[in-house]
A and B are shown apart, each in its own frame.
Chain A
Amino acid sequence: MNLTGKKVTLHDMSLRDGMHAKQHQISLDEMVAIATALDDAGMPLIEVTHGDGLGGTSVNYGFPAHSDEEYFSAVIPKMKNAKISALLLPGIGTVDHLKMAHDHGVSTIRIATHCTEADVSEQHIGMAAKMGLDTVGFLMMAHKVNTEQLLEQAKLMESYGANCIYCTDSAGYMLPDEVTEKIGALRSELNTATELGFHGHHNLGMGIANSLAAIEAGANRIDGSVAGLGAGAGNTPLEVFVAVLHRMGVDDGIDLYKIMDVAEDLVVPMMDQVIRIDRDALTLGYAGVYSSFLLFAQRAAQKYGLQARDILVELGRRGTVGGQEDMIEDLALTMSKGQ
């Protein structure tokens, strides 16, 4: 694979996807310390939001330590070069949240839908684009559809005003060939000015391989997370990815030693559990299940005397999509009655 001379924009997820792994309890000090250190390491884009996006604060997904407003107000004024992005899932967050994020200085907004439901994002993408925000359409669980269907949904988001489209491997299920095919098709069929991104999860250990495949096929934005802090087995570990990119001669503008130090000195010490491919995270990747279900399934398994793996496989069998965390306790109750 020859990626020499390519330019990519890396996008850190540790303070948003990492919120899942931290049950949304990252403190303001931790947010500021990590974001500042990432900024200093040259990270161009850092996502800061409740794990389930703007408005995610809930019984269902978890109440965070602080509101998104508080996190933005603490982090954004401290940034020298890095821009801050926010995630929004229509059905959870609304255009009111979008306006709030814009007012607080968020410059990139990512509107996320399940990979077949792009048309629920029209009002949010439309408004973000009208506000002049860097507007991203984020198609989640992209392994659930074929390339043609994904392209159709991507075109919808593009038509609403998104200037960048993501192929999002929410379950960490994809293998590199699938990434190549999907990103390649998006690259050849979407407007040449539309940027492409890839968001991976490391549940099958493919985060780095998939991200490289995405770059080769035409993606120029890659999500990852410093020390991998994210849902499931985490996102593509950024410090590792940066080292690989540097060996391959890809220009990412990141200082490798500095990002290694952020991972080692700041992020790893604040982890509640080691982010690794344990059997439950592996099950997510193997069965194609939404990564943030992991901790919910583990808690429900403990409460109702079940195996998290069994719950996760059943969630996959039932075709659950991102956001259906409420299904986990319901299913665990039903499964425990059947025992």
Chain B
Amino acid sequence: MSKKLRAAIIGPGNIGTDLLMKAMRSDWIEPVWMVGIEESEGIRRARDFGMKVSTTGVDGLVPHILEDDIRIAFDATSAYVHAENSRKVNELGVIMIDLTPAAIGPFCVPPVNLQQHAKHLEMNVNMVTCGGQATIPMVAAVSQVQPVAYGEIVATVASKSIGPGTRKNIDEFTRTTSAGIEQVGGAKAGKAIIVVNPAEPPLMMRDTIHCLTESEPDQAAITASVHEMVAKVQKYVPGYKLVNGPIFDGNRVTIFMEVQGLGDFLPKYAGNLDIMTAAGLRTAELFAEEAASGAIQLPTRG
């Protein structure tokens, strides 16, 4: 039996397609199904890649989950339909990786807390936001050294890389990211700012992370911790780059990052989208690795 876990991707848009292309290269995940709600370009692309497709939503997938031994589902649709999608697949023992802002499960930022979620076999984990994936590891890198009273991030993304869903509810980005800075990053208080920039050619995603430490920052330890964390993220996002810093000014620690995507389906400047799909896939892979090693027991099936 293959060690790979078989997966379905819900949402054949840009994110779903990029995720599919990454998953097809994975040693641990085998994408089998692409789920849409109608015939679409994304569905046709998935079919061309040899996927089974549903054009009737998750209901079209459900009857095949057991026979195709689907163990992982990625939801790349919207917060509005996520809860229902999750309920339907969870019932059949499928682990849900939520790339929408719904956040009904715990936040997952792979290098910080994925191990813990895998250990507890969380059946629904949420990937926070693009800005969260790019910055929370850095907040955590500082808070692992010493207490952070306040963590603030500024994510600047290319106008072309953010879709209508994010635009209609941009507050969701700031709220969810702030919560992630606190709950996963370990800052006592968190704040997130997003700036949309229309420059042509589109700018690479850039992120600034400011931490205010409770006591004087241990510069050497923080610098080492930041570099170590950058290396961890680079394992699944090779274009995650420390541009400047950490710089220290009193109790302020500031880190400047740039995120270049792999350019699978999404353009390279859209590092904000790439880091979401890469983090989602990394999460699924760790579940697969832990299941293969016997560290966790997947829900039993007849």
Contact = CB atoms under 8 A, between A and B. Distances in A.
A71 to B, nearest CB: 19
Contacts of A59: 150, 152, 210, 212, 252, 254
Interface stretch (B163-171, B215-223, B267-275): B163-171
Interface in A113-161: 114, 116-117, 119-120, 122-123, 144
Contacts of B197: 114, 319-321, 324
A91 B195 contact: yes
Nearest to B164: A119
Interface in B149-195: 150, 152, 154, 156, 159, 164, 167-171, 173-175, 191, 193-195
Nearest to A119: B167
Contacts of A92: 174, 193
Given A59-B252, A323-B193, A333-B256, A116 B152 contact: no
Contacts of B173: 91
A92 B194 CA distance: 7
A247 interface: no
Contacts of A144: 198
A90 B170 contact: yes
A122 B170 CA distance: 9
B159 A58 contact: no
A148 B52 CA distance: 45
Nearest to B208: A326
B193 A58 contact: yes
Given A90-B171, A123-B169, A323-B193, A117 B198 contact: yes
A329 B203 contact: no
A272 interface: no
B24 interface: no
Interface string B55-67: 0000000000000
Given A117-B198, A123-B169, A326 B154 contact: yes
B174 A91 contact: yes
Contact of A94 (B168, B174, B210): B174
Interface string A302-339: 00000000000000001111111011011001100000
A333 B244 contact: yes
B171 A95 contact: yes
Nearest to A113: B196
A318 B167 contact: no
B206 interface: yes
B199 A120 contact: no
Contacts of B244: 329-330, 333-334
B171 A318 contact: no
B195 A323 contact: yes
A318 B174 CA distance: 25
A334 B244 CA distance: 7
A123 B171 contact: yes
Nearest to B200: A319
Given A318-B203, A324-B195, A123 B170 contact: yes
A81 interface: no
Contacts of A329: 244, 247, 254, 256
A143 to B, nearest CB: 13
B156 to A, nearest CB: 6
Given A91-B170, A91-B174, A324-B156, A330 B198 contact: no
Nearest to A322: B195
Contacts of A90: 170-171
A324 B155 CA distance: 9
Interface of B: 150, 152, 154, 156, 159, 164, 167-171, 173-175, 191, 193-200, 203, 206, 208, 210, 212, 243-245, 247, 252, 254, 256
Given A117-B198, A324-B195, A330-B243, 16 more contacts: A58-B152, A59-B152, A60-B210, A91-B173, A91-B194, A94-B175, A119-B167, A123-B170, A123-B171, A144-B198, A318-B203, A326-B256, A327-B156, A330-B244, A333-B244, A333-B245
Closest 6 CB pairs of A and B: A319-B199, A326-B208, A59-B210, A94-B171, A330-B256, A116-B198
